[in-house]
Amino acid sequence: MIGVISDTHTDTFDASMARVVEGVLAEADVIIHAGDHTGADVVEHLEHVEARPYYGVSGNMDFHTGAGRLPVKRTVELGGVTIGIVHGSGSGVGLEKRVVSWFDPLPDVIIFGHSHRPLVKRIGSLLLVNPGSPFWPRGSGVGTVAMIEVTGTGIGARIVEVGG
């Protein structure tokens, strides 16, 4: 199980971050953060304190922080599935198309953030996943993360609401 988070926009790995990582993402074997950590402390915790493997990318709000040292995009292979990770940029209009255009060849899954709006969408064999934001949601007003499961029959993803 892959736990996906994005757009946390917090300077420190505080009690709220701990509730998400140790609570709603507890069943994840791997943590992916799709950018806008904003605080180097968040990256440091996920890289060096968290026991599970962590893969992160830098978002547009990370460039003037220690989190800005992360790559802008990356591709990882987990459980035989190729996953592209990028934050995203620009307007929410056309964001899906833009993030897809950044990967050639296309991975099996593209994880992105930036819009703070959760999304699980298939385009042919490609799975797009935006976990939304656990603390700064747009649209529904409910904080969210995502869980991705790779099984022998395929790849599935679901959005999970973050409780108070």
Q: Looking at residue 9, which CATH number applies to its domain?
A: 3.60.21.10
CB atoms near residue 42 (< 10 Å): 27
| pLDDT for res 164 | 58
Domain span at 12:
2-161
d(Cα 145, Cα 17) in Å, to the nearest integer? 12
d(Cα 137, Cα 119) in Å, to the nearest integer? 12
Q: How many separate domains does the chain show?
A: 1
Cβ proximity of 15 and 45 under 8 Å:
no
- The pTM score is 0.94
The residues facing 145 across adjacent strands are 160
Q: What is the pLDDT along the chain (164 residues), one digit of tens a residue?
A: 999 999 999 989 999 999 999 999 999 999 999 999 988 899 999 999 999 999 999 999 887 777 778 999 999 999 899 999 999 988 878 899 999 999 999 999 999 999 999 999 999 999 999 999 999 888 778 999 999 999 888 899 999 999 75
| pLDDT for res 57 | 96
| pLDDT for res 47 | 93
d(Cα 61, Cα 35) in Å, to the nearest integer? 8
d(Cα 142, Cα 136) in Å, to the nearest integer? 8
| pLDDT for res 140 | 72
